[in-house]
Structure 1
């Protein structure tokens, strides 16, 4: 991109405050984080309610294994990829909800399996708890929102951070990685069968949901940035404190740092 290889690009970290918009429970282990780095949880609360009004939730079948398919908002103009996935899911007892994005016109113009509900876009955050499995591209929003809903993932990455997220989902035991280069109807069918029949995937995804439910990334980020602005000094993790800030942990941290600041001011005076 023509960016000069400055120190900030080589090691993009601040000595003052670094916010990782995730949870240690849904990441691979990292050992090079400094004392001013905090995991604050995902920030997706503002996405709730998008396009929810009028969505036909009543068409979701209670007697079916429901699969949600999305390729995100950037790399989604891939109708043949969608068609391969949908043919792989054309089996009894499965219902498929598709967010087609840019591929919607091409998908809508041709025949689709009878078990498919096709939309240009969906209220994703509200839909995820109502399905049993997600087939996605591995983008950060879809991955985090799916884990927050406690649903397993089959990840078919396209580019960017998505391959890393696919491997991370496998590492966490919450899903499977299916390379797009080897995508086939049979491969999709076999992967979905594993995710459906092996309970460990759902159990692990539910455990991660419980971890994420304890965080509130947007509010935590705001509180730490406000604290930094008031203190005008690096915000550091107290020794022995958890690096991931839950709601309860944030309150304890703020109280600890405020007391430290007050004590320092008193000694200075």
Structure 2
């Protein structure tokens, strides 16, 4: 069992505790996405599934990225009508949802709400992130993204078209961020998996019971 440290009040895991790391499946059931064969960078924009009723934010994204020579994939959820976003430039593709892991595997930058799931997926694929904070754990996650050197964060009310564009372009051209994303990607992938968690559970089942 975990044992309590007398010095700082924290808990030290015992031998029946393991950090299994991220447990991601292949998401094949969500389908796949393939980037256009034109060599342009890919930008994914998504606010997740709970705090995505933000047509004003997505309009800022259209204004920010419509003139970039990028392929922009925007996942806007089921509560934003594409017609609410105005005229869309040809480089911006808007969908209610996308196979996020598939898109991230080909993305250059990820504009995200910094929910835990999306943050881990961004780290897994080594994609620099612009975190636009919405609520709950996203504030902590966004701060950690910046601390790790793999992205930047901005409060929702400050996420204007100009700010978003500048952050995305800066991250895409920052060699230090690229290096850190590659390092963290390797670390995340080495840290464990669903298989590691399952192996540990099975090993616990075969251990002799304590008296």
TM-score, normalised by the number of residues in structure 1? 0.68
Whole-angstrom CA distance in 1 between matches of 2:73 and 2:37: 11
Whether the 8 Å contact between 1:61 and 1:95 is mirrored in structure 2 is no
Whole-angstrom CA distance in 1 between matches of 2:11 and 2:71: 43
In structure 2, do the counterparts of structure 1 residues 213 and 62 end up closer, same or farther at CA, with 3 Å as the change threshold?
farther
Report Cα offsets for 1:38-65 as digits up to 9, x if no partner. 32111111x5213215x4x25x353322
Return 5+ residue gaps in structure 2 as ranges.
4-8
Whether the 8 Å contact between 1:66 and 1:131 is mirrored in structure 2 is yes
Whether the 8 Å contact between 1:67 and 1:97 is mirrored in structure 2 is yes
Match of 2:77 in 1: 101
Whole-angstrom CA distance in 2 between matches of 1:86 and 1:32: 46
Q: Report 1:229-248 matches (<5 A).
A: 229-231=205-207
Computing the radius of gyration from Cα coordinates, the structure with the larger value is 1
In structure 2, do the counterparts of structure 1 residues 138 and 95 end up closer, same or farther at CA, with 3 Å as the change threshold?
same
Whether the 8 Å contact between 1:97 and 1:116 is mirrored in structure 2 is yes
Q: Which runs of 4+ in 1 moved over 4 A?
A: none
Kindly indicate whether residue 24 of structure 2 is the aligned counterpart of residue 44 of structure 1: yes
Whole-angstrom CA distance in 2 between matches of 1:147 and 1:157: 17
SS at match of 2:12: coil
Whole-angstrom CA distance in 2 between matches of 1:233 and 1:146: 41
Q: Report 1:41-80 matches (<5 A).
A: 41-45=21-25, 48-52=27-31, 55=33, 57=34, 60-80=36-56
Whether the 8 Å contact between 2:66 and 2:88 is mirrored in structure 1 is no
SS at match of 2:157: helix
Q: Report 1:112-123 matches (<5 A).
A: 112-123=88-99
- Taking only aligned residues, the RMSD between alpha carbons, in angstroms, comes to 2.4
Match of 2:200 in 1: 224
Report Cα offsets for 1:90-136 as digits up to 9, x if no partner. 223122101111244x2245322332011111111121121100000
Match of 1:15 in 2: 2
Whether the 8 Å contact between 1:148 and 1:213 is mirrored in structure 2 is yes
Tell me the number of residue pairs that the alignment of Structure 1 and Structure 2 aligns. 203
Q: CA deviation at 1:35?
A: 2.7
In structure 2, do the counterparts of structure 1 residues 158 and 33 end up closer, same or farther at CA, with 3 Å as the change threshold?
same
